[in-house]
Amino acid sequence: MVLLFCVDMKRDSVSWTNNRKEPLFAAQHRTGQHQTIQAHIVATEQTNAQKHSFKLSSSSTNSQNTIPMVLIFVAFILVFASISPVLSLPVVPDSGRQSSANQTFRPHAELLKLKRVRAYLRKISKPAVKIIQSPDGDVIDCVLSHKQPAFDHPELKGKKPLDPPERPRGYGSGETTPESFQLWADSGELCPEGTVPIRRTTEKDILRASSISRYGRKPERVQRDSTGNGHEHAVVFVNGDQYYGARANVNVWAPLVTDHYEFSLSQIWVISGSFGNDLNTIEAGWQVSPELYGDNYPRFFTYWTTDAYQATGCYNLLCSGFVQTNNRIAIGAAISPRSSYNGRQFDFGLMVWKDPKHGHWWLEFGSGLLVGYWPAFLFSHLRSHASMVQFGGEIVNSGSSGFHTSTQMGSGHFAEEGFGKASYFRNLQVVDWDNNLLPLTNLHQLADHPNCYDIRQGRNNVWGTYFYYGGPGRNVRCP
């Protein structure tokens, strides 16, 4: 069972049944109609032809003298046409509608790119035993577990997903599960046992990326000090010790993202190495990314890298890496329901921890629902432990307008507005060397653009360690 829950300000937690349905998206197609030729037009043309024939017969003598000139002129036209194909008219199909030049002919570079896109799709797409249509337009492929992209990795070829590991001690929850937690599940269909649901990647998805090689990857060389690279954060973090996992409940919203190449996310980072070329991270949470997904829905996502986002790692299942073991969660699919301003609040539990027996990093969604794992061999520093754990929000400010972006973080409201208005994380914990969940100590916070996005932390007996965070982006104090 997936255990998700909603939080009421007056009652600690209440279940919430999702009744909202997303609109179906459908494409309408129109077909052309053939035009008819009227009989009176034909009759008129025949009469004109007879008159024209009479005129030709009366001037036959003069025309004989011009035949050589006509032949020379026709020959000239044929030669000129053969060396000037660009002047020829485009072909008109049988439907009677003239095709535009870019429909009939494609530049060489465009054809080459499309060929590379289709080759990449063949590489990452896997045969489905069942196909599910999501209300938001996504297509979910149910793929046999041992056929998923992770098993293209040389270290995993011929193997099967591992059995569930031992969970950290000290974690229990009595929270309940909403009727729906992802939009694709609203159809009432699930993938069969022994398969995993994978959001289908399309040509349009890849063509939205800056390049095929960067599709499904974060920008390179993200530094800890994000003031100069367009990435802005409002986070809390712990460091200076050895960490073997982290857990929190993450509030879900649908923030506005105002530029195609920007995103807004809320996540947990498990980090090791320096913030140079050897940075190792494991990341999970929700994000809005028009470039990656083509819409503004908040979506459950994962990420990993071993070289500071350069050549290794990817989002979700877009490369060989993360091994999914669950048939109920589609990584990259839209989350439903979402929180509303001054209305019901929805959050989900999220935990990443290192299996003490095999050393792999496992991911849990909700309470008790194992999504899968990152094999230990993917990493260098994280093969042993993490040196830092971080929780919070991140946006990209592309600066495309000449001003600070209006892309929102969290709910789009500042932390000071509190419950029901500002986004939050609650019940923050870390996992120690002995597989115990512990409350955070020595917690630091960072808002690198506090006039645009800020953060406030607190602690109580119900929420444990928590914080509110976020903001609207551009405003009178953030020009």
> What Rg, from alpha-carbon coordinates, does the chain have?
31
**Alpha carbon distance 139, 289 (integer Å):** 18
- Is 283 an annotated catalytic residue? yes
93 phi-psi bin (left φ>0, alpha ψ -120 to 50, beta other): beta
Q: Which of 175, 262, 283, 364 is catalytic?
A: 283
- Is 203 an annotated catalytic residue? no
- The CA distances from residue 302 to 76, 82, 175, 282, in Å, are 67, 58, 24, 8
The pair phi, psi for residue 292, each rounded to 5°, is: -80, -40
Distance of CA 220 to the CA centre of its chain: 17
Handedness of CA 411, 414, 415, 417 (dihedral sign): negative
Contacts for 281-286 with beta carbons within 8 Å, 24 or more apart? 281/305, 281/313, 281/382, 282/352, 282/361, 282/374, 282/382, 282/386, 284/350, 284/352, 284/363, 285/250, 285/350, 286/250, 286/252, 286/335
For residue 294, give every residue at least 6 positions away whose Cβ sits within 8 Å of its Cβ, in sequence order, or none: 204, 205, 208
CB 334 within 8 A of CB 17: no
The H-or-E segment that residue 64 falls in is helix 60-83
Q: Which tokens belong to 93?
A: 């199909």
For residue 293, give every residue at least 6 positions away whose Cβ sits within 8 Å of its Cβ, in sequence order, or none: 205, 299, 332
Q: Which of 175, 232, 262, 394 is catalytic?
A: 394
CB 377 within 8 A of CB 388: no
Catalytic (active-site) positions:
283, 394
